[in-house]
């Protein structure tokens, strides 16, 4: 009998609260802000909490948290 090795890459689970960057979907769930509003914010000129990785839009969690603390309206 031959044993086959599983060569699939297993994804490491990291809680959202510990991630450095969040997808728009993750940020929407974590911060309770709609996806449309997040897309609007990341497309503003001078946005410091966005990271474009090819076609992916990532939100720098810690910087975005500070942004939210400093603003009363988004």
Alpha-carbon span 16 to 1, nearest angstrom: 42
Q: Pick the closest to residue 53 from 25, 23, 9 (CA basis).
A: 23
Over its C-alpha atoms, the chain yields an Rg (Å, rounded) of: 17
Q: Which residue has the tokens 């809680």?
A: 15
Tell me the domains of the chain and their CATH numbers: 20-70 (3.90.105.50)
Q: Per residue of the chain (74 residues), what is the pLDDT tens digit?
A: 554 455 567 788 999 999 999 999 999 999 999 999 999 999 999 999 999 999 999 999 999 999 999 999 99
């Amino acid at each position: 009998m031959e044993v086959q090795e599983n060569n699939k890459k297993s994804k490491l689970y990291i809680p959202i609260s510990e991630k450095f960057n969040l997808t728009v979907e993750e940020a929407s769930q974590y911060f309770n802000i709609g996806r449309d509003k997040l897309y609007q914010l990341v497309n503003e000129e001078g946005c410091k909490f966005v990271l474009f990785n090819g076609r992916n839009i990532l939100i720098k969690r810690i910087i975005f948290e500070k942004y939210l603390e400093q603003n009363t309206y988004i």
